[in-house]
Structure formats: structure tokens, C-alpha cells
Amino acid sequence: MIRTGTKFRIASLAAAAVLMVGACSGSTGSSPAASSAAASAAPAGSSGTAATQTINIGIGGPFTGTSALTGTEMKNAADMALDAINWQVGPYKINPVYVDDQADPAKGTAALEQAIVGQKIIAGILNWNSSVSVAEMELTAKYQIPWFFGMGAAGTVNQKFASDRAKYGYWTSKGWPDPVKLTTAYVTAINDAVAAGTFKPASKTVAIYGEDTDWGRSFGAGLKAGFTSTGWTIASEDYFPLTQTDFSALTSRYASQNVPVIAGTSTAAASITAFIKAASDAGLKSLIVADGLGWFGDWYKMTGSASDYVLDSVPGFATAKAKAFEAAYQAKYGSAPSAAAAGLSYDWTNFFIKVMQQTLADQGSITSATLYKEAQDKLWTGQLTYTDGIIMSSYDFNADSIPDPVVGKGHYIFPVTQYHSGQQTVVWPADQAAGPLTAKP
């Protein structure tokens, strides 16, 4: 659980959870305890009428492969949201088609084309990796299948969307904003700590690392721009394969260079946790930014005390409804969920359910064409929003933000946290902080 200051209202992590959409053939129900807890997290949204039509909806993510832990959380959370409304919207029964992209663009496009051509999905939601998003945008454009809230965040997705909106607008919206919009939090938090005297680096030098993907390089570019613009020198930039788990050479070099700040990201649990442990084994006293470490529910089991003093920017289960979801998830699946993967997927699935409900109300049917029109008419203009989530207080888009959600206080935003013994303490922004950012002793 994230600890916060007494004045922290957790505006960025608030609210409820609306769940909705019809029973799936082959989908098993929750246990009574889990169903009860999930129901307490949000009201049901099905129409109460008998289903007369079945529509296939794609649910994307890396369900196997290097990012399978994240993908499993996403799938489970989406299922919980749909379970709560009995997999039905109005007369439509929702049949899920799980699009396993395996965190690989080629495998992702093959799986998506099979889902579109072979299983006739009319729309889809979620995914995780930016490089997969960029590749799959070609298929959603080719077959005119609207996709909602894909969490591939890199700026390459935005660039492709903007290059030909008439073509690539079928990738209607992102569930995670361009990382450049979020990296500024780390830079500001560190600079504020230097100014306050709680962090005293020997030099203003930073090494940037990350997975060699669209996400990793986009995140690294954001960090580089933020640090250099505030007087820091970049010692090096190092990008590695998503599957890499041996970081002994890299962390030994950092140790020999005596770099005071090391900042980067990886979306693979095995990779980012191995990096953290290698840094500890190398005796690094550097302040480490490991964006995404907390995306995995069992991250502390994988890192132990090596994660102490690491900085991350992640949401938490802060409200009563968020905690009810967390408890229901653990009861049903036997593992702890992360707020970033499971929590956000739960909220985005609920928002998609609202999109379907509003599409039915406005246009009388739920089809690829009507869902895409609703996205253009209501989602992109900020008229269709979701304020009953368990992670953010508001999920919304507008003409200036699209395909990204609106970022900022009261919208989509993460605090910067520092880890101590497996717990997250908010250290930035100041009005939310439960303690100061401190250096590793």
C-alpha cells in the first residue's frame, strides 16, 4: 500500500468502479466471496434483458512470453469488470477473444489478424507494449476495427496517429500517455530533493538505461530532455533486449563511473528485477529510478531489499473501492495485483463498457462503425468521460490530448514513490508526500 501524507487527498488515485457487459460462453463465474467483493467495488451495469445477439470483443495483452505476469493481471482484471455486469450490454452478449501478442510486434499482428478475420471481433481493448501498438495500428486501420485504451504509450504511437488520423484513428485512444509527459515527475522530484538538501549527489550526472523498445527509448528521451534542461550531464545511454537478465557488466561500469543517478525503465518483470538485484550486488549507492518496477504485484518477492531507496512512479489501491477490488482479485486468483496493470485495466475495461452503453443509447446498436463514431463524436471531444474508477479520479480525452488521456492533477497522474522494505512512500509532489526523497546510505 502507498503511504501518503495526512493532507494527501489522493486526487489522482480516487473513486469507484462501474462494471458492465454480458455473460460469456465458456467463462466461469467468480467464487462467492470474490464476486461479493467485486460487486462492492462497483454497481452492475447490464440491462437485465435477455441477450439476443453475441458480439466478439478483443482483449489484448502479453498473456505469454516475457511480460506474461503483466498480461495475466490485465486479462484477470478485464474479466472481473465484465463478470460484474454478467458480460452483457443491452441485448448484446459479450464473447471475449484474448489477443495474446506475447510482447512481440510480429506475433501480436498475427494474433490480431486471426482475431479479426477468423473470430470476427468488432472492437478491442487494452494491450501493453508500444512496439506492438505501432504494428497493430496497421491492422485496425486495414479492417476498420476500433481499438480502445491500448496501453502502449510511446510517442511513436502518437506520431503514427497524427500522421493520418483518417487511417490510424481506429486506434482510438491510449490507456497510458506519452512517457515524456510523465518523466518530468522524476526530474522535478530529484531536483527538489537536491534543493531541499535531502539528496546531495557528488555531481549532477545521470546514466539512462532501458529496454530497447519504442517504450524504453521514448521514456529515455523524456528523461534525457528533462535532466539536460535542468543542468544535468548524461553519462551514458544504455538500451538492452527485453529478455536480458544479466546486468553485471552494466552495473559494474556504473559503479566504476560513480554515477549518482541512474534512471530508466523496463516492462519485463524478469529484466527490471534482475537489473535492481545486479545494482545491489555491484554495491551501487546511486539513486535509481526504475519506472515500472511496481507494475508487477509480486515485485518485492523478486527483488527483496535490493529495491530499497529505488524511485518509481506508480498508482496504488488507495480508496475503499480500490481496496475492495484488490481483495477480490487476490481471493479469486491467489496473487497480489498491481495497480498499474490490474487496476488500470479494470478501470479502462469499465470505461469501455460505458462506451458501449453510450453507443447503444445514442445510435441504437453496437457495431464497429457505431463504436468508432461514438469515439469520434463523444470520446475525442471530452463529452464521454469515466469518473468512477479505482485508480484515477477522472479518465478523459479532448481534442488537444487525443490519443492520450488528459494528464494532470485530477486527471491521469502518478505520484513519485520511494521503496522501503517493500512499501511505497510518496515523496513527490510535496502536497502528497509522506516523507522526503532520500539517498541510499
Question: What is the C-alpha separation between 220 and 257, in angstroms, rounded?
Answer: 19
Q: Each residue of 170-195: pLDDT tens digit? A: 999 999 999 888 898 999 999 999 99
**C-alpha to C-alpha distances, 292 to 74, 85, 298, 334, nearest whole angstrom:** 15, 31, 12, 22
Residues in a beta bridge with 99: 60
For the cut 70, the answer to whether the pLDDT of residue 8 exceeds it is: no
Residue with cell 523496463: 266
Q: Which domains does the chain have, with CATH numbers?
A: 2-178+318-379 (3.40.50.2300), 180-314+414-432 (3.40.50.2300)
Provide mean pLDDT across the span 32-46: 41
Mean pLDDT of the chain: 89
When comparing pLDDT for 85 and 36, which is higher?
Answer: 85
Whole-number Å distance between alpha carbons of 157 and 152: 7
Phi/psi zone of residue 202: left (φ > 0), alpha (ψ -120 to 50 degrees), beta? alpha
Task: Name the pairing type of β-strands 92-100 and 287-291.
Answer: unpaired
Rounded CA gap, 209 and 173, in Å? 28
Please enumerate in sequence order all residues whose Cβ is within 8 A of that of 416, keeping only pairs 6 or more positions apart, or say none.
Answer: 185, 186, 189, 311, 312, 313, 426, 427, 428, 429, 437
Q: Which of 81, 134, 94 is nearest to 73 (CA)?
A: 81
Query: Per the structure block, which three cell numbers stand in for 179?
Result: 512517457
What percentage of the chain exceeds 70 in pLDDT? 89
Return the residue matching grid coordinates 553485471.
248
Whether residue 269 has pLDDT greater than 70: yes
Which among 131, 158, 142, 138 has a CA at the least distance from the CA of 215? 131
Q: For the chain, how long is the longest CA-to-CA vector?
A: 68
pLDDT band at residue 278 using 50, 70 and 90 as cut-offs: very high
Indicate whether 10 pLDDT > 80: no
Cell of 124: 478491442
Nearest Cα to Cα of residue 146 among 401, 375, 395, 396:
375
Question: Which cell numbers hold the place of 92?
Answer: 448484446
Residue 222 grid coordinates? 523524456
- Give the three-class secondary structure for 345: helix
- pLDDT at res. 253: 96
Mean pLDDT, residues 415-422: 94
pLDDT (mean) for 217-242: 96
Residue 3 has pLDDT above 50, yes or no: no
Under 8 Å between Cβ of 170 and 146: yes
**What interhelical angle do 344-363 and 68-83 show, nearest 10?**
40
Bigger pLDDT: 340 vs 29:
340
C-alpha cell at 121: 471481433
Q: Is the confidence at residue 229, as pLDDT, over 60?
A: yes
Nearest Cα residue to 83 out of 133, 121, 31: 31
Q: What pLDDT, on a 0 to 100 scale, did the predictor assign at position 48?
A: 61
Give residue-wise pLDDT tens across range 54-78: 999 999 999 999 899 999 999 999 9
CB atoms within 10 A of CB 374: 24
Query: pLDDT digit string (tens) for 76-116?
Result: 999 999 999 999 999 999 999 999 999 999 999 999 999 99
pLDDT in tens, 294-350: 888 789 999 999 999 999 998 888 889 999 999 999 999 999 999 999 999 999 999
* Residue 5 pLDDT > 50: no
| Cβ count near 162 (within 10 Å) | 12
pLDDT at 51: 78
Please tell me the distance from the alpha carbon of residue 10 to that of residue 316, in angstroms, as a whole number.
Answer: 10
pTM value is 0.77
Q: Is residue 437 very low, low, confident or very high in pLDDT (cuts 50, 70, 90)?
A: very high
